[in-house]
Amino acid sequence: AADEALFLLLHNEMVAGLYRAAEQGEGENGRCTTKLESMGFRVGQGLIERFTKDTARFKDELDIMKFICKDFWTTVFKKQIDNLRTNHQGIYVLQDNKFRLLTQMSVGKQYLEHAPKYLAFTCGLIRGGLSNLGIKSIVTAEVSSMPACK
Amino acid sequence: ALVGVISFPPQNYPLYIRSIPTENELKFHYTVHTSLDVVDEKISAMGKALVDQRELYLGLLYPTEDYKVYGYVTNSKVKFVMVVDSSNTALRDNEIRSMFRKLHNSYTDIMCNPFYNPGDRIHSRAFDTMVNSMMMQVC
């Protein structure tokens, strides 16, 4: 759909643009991921405010994580998280088998080394959303085979 | 009548305070700060299923001789507190609820404003206008 494509294209340009600017000496390569993550963070804060405006109050942390996996993910990526696992001690693994921002890239191992750049923004998005819901977190992502990621 | 609007992020400092008339401001600030404790009490009571957990609106927090204080907490832990003159008996519960909804909506808009840094004091003219018109309605 056109509106999905809009976010996808904008996101990819953002990543590419940041790295291009870095190569031209406006910043080191390593900081690009940080910049992307911070962008995601601020966007996540605003988004979560809007999304939770009309929802009922969350019961607990698990309730919040379920919200992220279902409503939040669906609104942003038009699908739900495929699998949520937790050790009930504060660690959650969200698995998306067809992550929207990676599906156009490859299936399998091609371009695998570039995947982290395209996950940074989304990590920030989650961290920002959780932060405004009162949860301090560290969000990381890993990709072993495109377009699935955890 | 005295109406005030404050919002407190998790760290419990005010993002926005407005009151009319402005004479009793100190007493008004004090009332608001003490009402925060009541808000926190109500929220922790929810954990023990003493209060309807799902609603964002907290209702009348507590009445003093001069004021009635109402509370509302968003999912993002921002607290809105409204202080109304006790003599104002015409104000109904659903009117208060809709005022809190307006506040919540305006706050959400502010969060999406790229020039607003979450945690800063609110300096938005749109927010001021909304609050002013709300307070005009009440007084």
Give the domain CATH number at A18: 3.30.1380.20
**Does residue B97 have a pLDDT over 80?**
yes
> Which residue carries 């925060």 as its tokens?
B36
Q: pLDDT per residue over A26-77, tens digit each? A: 555 567 888 889 989 999 988 888 888 888 778 788 888 999 999 999 988 8
Best of A45, A50, A57 to mutate (most B CBs within 10 Å, chain B):
A57
Tell me, yes or no, whether A84 lies in a domain: yes
What is the arithmetic mean of pLDDT over B94-100?
83
Length of chain B: 139
Q: Is residue A147 a part of any domain in this protein? A: no
pLDDT tens figures, A10-28: 888 888 888 887 776 655 5
Residues of A in contact with B44 (CB under 8 A): none
Domains by residue range for chain B, with CATH = 2-138 (3.30.450.70)
Residue predicted with more confidence, A36 or B46: A36
Q: What are phi and psi of A92, to 5 degrees?
A: -125, 140
Kindly state the tokens that stand for B46: 């929810």
Distance CA A44, CA A56 (A): 19
**Containing structural domain, residue A113:** 4-133
Q: Is A150 contained in some domain? A: no
Percent of chain B with pLDDT over 90: 0
- Nearest CB among B56, B112, B118 relative to A50 is that of B112
d(Cα A101, Cα A124) in Å, to the nearest integer? 14
Phi/psi at B30 (5° precision): -65, -45
- From chain A, pick out residues whose CB is under 8 angstroms from the CB of B71: none
* Structural domain includes residue A148: no
Contacts of A133 in chain B (CB under 8 A): 75-77
Overall number of domains in chain A: 1
pLDDT score, position A126: 92
Predicted pLDDT at A2? 67
- pLDDT beyond 70 at B10: no
Of B74, B75, B112, the CB nearest to A46: B112
Contact A77, A69 (CB under 8 A): no
The Cβ-side half-sphere exposure at B94, using a 13 Å CA radius, reads 0
Residue B49 in this model has a pLDDT that exceeds 50: no
**Is B38's pLDDT higher than 80?**
no
Question: How many other C-beta atoms are found inside a 10 Å radius of the C-beta of residue A52?
Answer: 24
Q: Cα-flanking dihedrals φ and ψ of residue A95, to 5°?
A: -115, 125
- A150 or B119: whose pLDDT is higher? A150
Q: Among B54, B104, B108, select the one facing A57 at the smallest CB separation.
A: B54
Instruction: Give the integer Cα–Cα distance in Å for A23 and A29.
Output: 7
Name chain B contacts of A56, Cβ cutoff 8 Å: 53-56
Residue A115 lies in a domain: yes
d(CA A106, CA A125): 23
pLDDT band at B139 (very low <50, low <70, confident <90, very high): low
pLDDT given for residue B1 in this prediction: 46
Do the domain assignments include residue A140?
no
